[in-house]
Amino acid sequence: MNDVATPDRIQLVVQGMIMFIAAIALHEFGHAWMATKLGDSTPKRQGRLTLNPMAHADPIGTLLLPAVFLISTGTIGFAWGKPVQHRSFHRKGNMLVAFAGPAMNVILATFIVLVHVILLKAGVKVGPKLTGALINAVFLNFILFFFNLIPAAPLDGGTVLRGLIPYSWLRGYDQYAVYAPFVLLAFMMVPAIGVVVRWPAEWMTFHLYELMLKIGHVPSLVGAR
Protein backbone atom coordinates (compact mmCIF):
# COMPACT_ATOMS: atom_id res chain seq x y z
CA MET A 1 0.00 0.00 0.00
CA ASN A 2 2.89 2.38 0.76
CA ASP A 3 4.26 1.84 -2.76
CA VAL A 4 0.96 3.07 -4.21
CA ALA A 5 1.18 6.38 -2.33
CA THR A 6 4.78 7.29 -3.22
CA PRO A 7 5.33 10.66 -4.92
CA ASP A 8 6.69 8.92 -8.04
CA ARG A 9 3.60 6.68 -8.33
CA ILE A 10 1.25 9.64 -7.77
CA GLN A 11 3.11 11.57 -10.47
CA LEU A 12 2.87 8.56 -12.80
CA VAL A 13 -0.89 8.28 -12.26
CA VAL A 14 -1.52 12.00 -12.81
CA GLN A 15 0.66 12.14 -15.93
CA GLY A 16 -0.82 8.94 -17.30
CA MET A 17 -4.40 10.13 -16.83
CA ILE A 18 -3.69 13.50 -18.46
CA MET A 19 -2.01 11.85 -21.45
CA PHE A 20 -4.71 9.24 -21.87
CA ILE A 21 -7.68 11.59 -21.54
CA ALA A 22 -6.12 13.99 -24.07
CA ALA A 23 -5.43 11.13 -26.49
CA ILE A 24 -8.96 9.75 -26.17
CA ALA A 25 -10.53 13.20 -26.56
CA LEU A 26 -8.69 13.88 -29.81
CA HIS A 27 -9.41 10.35 -31.05
CA GLU A 28 -13.16 10.70 -30.55
CA PHE A 29 -13.11 14.26 -31.90
CA GLY A 30 -11.61 12.80 -35.08
CA HIS A 31 -14.61 10.51 -35.51
CA ALA A 32 -17.01 13.41 -34.86
CA TRP A 33 -15.17 15.76 -37.24
CA MET A 34 -15.13 13.30 -40.14
CA ALA A 35 -18.80 12.36 -39.70
CA THR A 36 -19.65 16.06 -39.74
CA LYS A 37 -17.55 16.62 -42.87
CA LEU A 38 -19.52 13.83 -44.55
CA GLY A 39 -22.78 15.63 -43.81
CA ASP A 40 -24.00 14.16 -40.53
CA SER A 41 -25.02 16.71 -37.89
CA THR A 42 -25.48 14.10 -35.14
CA PRO A 43 -22.05 14.57 -33.49
CA LYS A 44 -22.48 18.35 -33.39
CA ARG A 45 -26.01 18.11 -31.98
CA GLN A 46 -24.77 15.74 -29.28
CA GLY A 47 -21.91 18.07 -28.31
CA ARG A 48 -19.17 15.79 -29.63
CA LEU A 49 -17.65 18.20 -32.16
CA THR A 50 -15.38 19.63 -29.47
CA LEU A 51 -11.93 19.14 -27.98
CA ASN A 52 -13.38 19.31 -24.47
CA PRO A 53 -12.13 16.02 -22.93
CA MET A 54 -15.18 15.62 -20.71
CA ALA A 55 -17.43 15.45 -23.78
CA HIS A 56 -15.62 12.28 -24.86
CA ALA A 57 -14.82 10.66 -21.51
CA ASP A 58 -16.61 7.50 -20.43
CA PRO A 59 -16.87 7.41 -16.61
CA ILE A 60 -15.70 3.80 -16.45
CA GLY A 61 -13.59 3.32 -19.58
CA THR A 62 -11.79 6.67 -19.58
CA LEU A 63 -11.63 7.58 -15.89
CA LEU A 64 -12.13 4.67 -13.48
CA LEU A 65 -10.39 1.72 -15.18
CA PRO A 66 -7.28 3.62 -16.37
CA ALA A 67 -6.83 5.09 -12.88
CA VAL A 68 -7.15 1.65 -11.28
CA PHE A 69 -4.67 0.12 -13.74
CA LEU A 70 -2.19 2.98 -13.30
CA ILE A 71 -2.34 2.75 -9.52
CA SER A 72 -2.02 -1.03 -9.44
CA THR A 73 0.26 -1.78 -12.40
CA GLY A 74 1.71 1.50 -13.64
CA THR A 75 0.14 1.02 -17.09
CA ILE A 76 -3.14 2.14 -18.69
CA GLY A 77 -4.45 -1.38 -19.24
CA PHE A 78 -7.71 -1.74 -21.16
CA ALA A 79 -9.75 1.44 -21.58
CA TRP A 80 -12.03 3.28 -23.99
CA GLY A 81 -13.76 6.58 -24.71
CA LYS A 82 -17.45 7.39 -25.22
CA PRO A 83 -18.34 6.21 -28.76
CA VAL A 84 -19.35 8.90 -31.25
CA GLN A 85 -22.80 8.26 -32.66
CA HIS A 86 -23.33 8.96 -36.36
CA ARG A 87 -25.64 7.81 -39.11
CA SER A 88 -24.57 4.90 -41.26
CA PHE A 89 -22.78 5.98 -44.44
CA HIS A 90 -21.80 3.86 -47.41
CA ARG A 91 -18.92 1.58 -46.45
CA LYS A 92 -16.24 4.00 -47.69
CA GLY A 93 -17.78 6.76 -45.59
CA ASN A 94 -17.92 4.52 -42.54
CA MET A 95 -14.28 3.62 -43.19
CA LEU A 96 -13.26 7.29 -43.24
CA VAL A 97 -15.10 7.99 -39.98
CA ALA A 98 -13.49 4.97 -38.35
CA PHE A 99 -9.96 5.81 -39.55
CA ALA A 100 -10.20 9.47 -38.51
CA GLY A 101 -9.97 8.52 -34.81
CA PRO A 102 -6.65 6.64 -34.96
CA ALA A 103 -5.33 9.20 -37.45
CA MET A 104 -5.79 11.91 -34.83
CA ASN A 105 -3.57 9.94 -32.46
CA VAL A 106 -0.79 10.02 -35.06
CA ILE A 107 -1.29 13.77 -35.48
CA LEU A 108 -1.11 14.29 -31.70
CA ALA A 109 2.03 12.13 -31.43
CA THR A 110 3.69 14.11 -34.23
CA PHE A 111 2.69 17.41 -32.61
CA ILE A 112 4.21 16.37 -29.26
CA VAL A 113 7.49 15.36 -30.91
CA LEU A 114 7.57 18.59 -32.92
CA VAL A 115 7.03 20.78 -29.85
CA HIS A 116 9.63 18.77 -27.89
CA VAL A 117 12.24 19.15 -30.61
CA ILE A 118 11.50 22.88 -31.06
CA LEU A 119 12.00 23.42 -27.32
CA LEU A 120 15.31 21.56 -27.42
CA LYS A 121 16.40 23.46 -30.53
CA ALA A 122 15.57 26.75 -28.77
CA GLY A 123 17.84 25.78 -25.87
CA VAL A 124 15.03 25.22 -23.39
CA LYS A 125 16.14 22.83 -20.66
CA VAL A 126 13.78 19.84 -20.69
CA GLY A 127 14.50 17.68 -17.65
CA PRO A 128 14.64 13.88 -17.78
CA LYS A 129 11.24 13.43 -16.12
CA LEU A 130 9.48 15.73 -18.59
CA THR A 131 11.38 14.15 -21.47
CA GLY A 132 10.25 10.71 -20.34
CA ALA A 133 6.65 11.91 -19.99
CA LEU A 134 6.64 13.37 -23.51
CA ILE A 135 8.14 10.23 -25.03
CA ASN A 136 5.59 8.11 -23.17
CA ALA A 137 2.79 10.34 -24.48
CA VAL A 138 3.99 9.76 -28.04
CA PHE A 139 4.26 6.02 -27.42
CA LEU A 140 0.73 5.92 -25.93
CA ASN A 141 -0.74 7.60 -29.00
CA PHE A 142 0.92 5.11 -31.30
CA ILE A 143 -0.34 2.29 -29.08
CA LEU A 144 -3.88 3.66 -29.52
CA PHE A 145 -3.32 3.98 -33.27
CA PHE A 146 -2.19 0.40 -33.83
CA PHE A 147 -4.54 -1.14 -31.27
CA ASN A 148 -7.61 0.53 -32.71
CA LEU A 149 -6.67 -0.61 -36.21
CA ILE A 150 -6.78 -4.29 -35.23
CA PRO A 151 -9.39 -5.67 -37.69
CA ALA A 152 -11.83 -6.83 -35.04
CA ALA A 153 -15.17 -5.27 -34.15
CA PRO A 154 -15.92 -3.12 -32.26
CA LEU A 155 -12.47 -1.59 -32.91
CA ASP A 156 -12.08 0.94 -35.73
CA GLY A 157 -9.94 -1.50 -37.67
CA GLY A 158 -12.93 -3.75 -38.30
CA THR A 159 -14.77 -0.96 -40.13
CA VAL A 160 -11.61 0.22 -41.91
CA LEU A 161 -10.89 -3.24 -43.28
CA ARG A 162 -14.50 -3.67 -44.39
CA GLY A 163 -14.17 -0.47 -46.41
CA LEU A 164 -10.98 -1.66 -48.12
CA ILE A 165 -11.78 -5.21 -49.18
CA PRO A 166 -13.43 -6.03 -52.54
CA TYR A 167 -17.22 -6.33 -52.59
CA SER A 168 -16.90 -10.04 -53.37
CA TRP A 169 -15.24 -10.57 -49.98
CA LEU A 170 -17.89 -8.80 -47.91
CA ARG A 171 -20.03 -11.82 -47.19
CA GLY A 172 -17.10 -13.83 -45.86
CA TYR A 173 -15.83 -10.85 -43.88
CA ASP A 174 -19.23 -10.28 -42.26
CA GLN A 175 -19.27 -13.92 -41.22
CA TYR A 176 -15.83 -13.46 -39.65
CA ALA A 177 -16.97 -10.25 -37.92
CA VAL A 178 -19.36 -12.28 -35.75
CA TYR A 179 -16.32 -13.86 -34.08
CA ALA A 180 -14.12 -10.73 -34.18
CA PRO A 181 -14.81 -9.82 -30.52
CA PHE A 182 -13.00 -13.03 -29.54
CA VAL A 183 -9.88 -11.67 -31.28
CA LEU A 184 -10.15 -8.58 -29.12
CA LEU A 185 -10.67 -10.78 -26.06
CA ALA A 186 -7.44 -12.64 -26.88
CA PHE A 187 -5.51 -9.36 -26.79
CA MET A 188 -6.99 -8.64 -23.37
CA MET A 189 -6.38 -12.10 -21.91
CA VAL A 190 -2.98 -13.00 -23.44
CA PRO A 191 -0.44 -10.20 -22.76
CA ALA A 192 2.17 -11.80 -25.05
CA ILE A 193 -0.03 -11.04 -28.08
CA GLY A 194 0.32 -7.35 -27.24
CA VAL A 195 3.71 -7.31 -28.96
CA VAL A 196 1.76 -6.99 -32.22
CA VAL A 197 0.82 -3.48 -31.02
CA ARG A 198 3.80 -2.58 -28.80
CA TRP A 199 6.53 -3.31 -31.31
CA PRO A 200 5.25 -1.04 -34.12
CA ALA A 201 4.38 1.65 -31.53
CA GLU A 202 7.94 1.57 -30.17
CA TRP A 203 9.35 1.57 -33.72
CA MET A 204 7.26 4.57 -34.75
CA THR A 205 8.10 6.49 -31.56
CA PHE A 206 11.84 5.95 -31.97
CA HIS A 207 11.97 6.70 -35.69
CA LEU A 208 9.69 9.75 -35.51
CA TYR A 209 11.93 11.25 -32.83
CA GLU A 210 15.02 10.25 -34.82
CA LEU A 211 13.68 11.96 -37.95
CA MET A 212 12.61 15.17 -36.19
CA LEU A 213 15.87 15.42 -34.23
CA LYS A 214 17.86 14.94 -37.42
CA ILE A 215 15.85 17.62 -39.25
CA GLY A 216 16.32 20.00 -36.31
CA HIS A 217 20.02 19.11 -35.85
CA VAL A 218 19.34 18.27 -32.21
CA PRO A 219 21.36 15.63 -30.29
CA SER A 220 19.80 12.17 -29.85
CA LEU A 221 17.55 11.35 -26.90
CA VAL A 222 18.59 7.68 -26.76
CA GLY A 223 18.11 6.33 -23.24
CA ALA A 224 15.79 9.15 -22.16
CA ARG A 225 12.71 6.94 -21.85
**Catalytic annotation, residues:** 28
> Using CA of residue 64, residue 57, residue 23, residue 159, what is the dihedral sign?
positive
Q: Which residues are within 8 A (CB) of 143 and not within 5 positions of it... i.e. 6 or more apart?
A: 197, 198, 201
CA dist 213 and 143 (Å) reads 21
Residues 205, 207, 210, 216: is their CA dihedral positive or negative?
Answer: negative
In one-letter notation, the amino acid at residue 24 is: I
Q: How far apart are the first and last CA of the chain?
A: 26
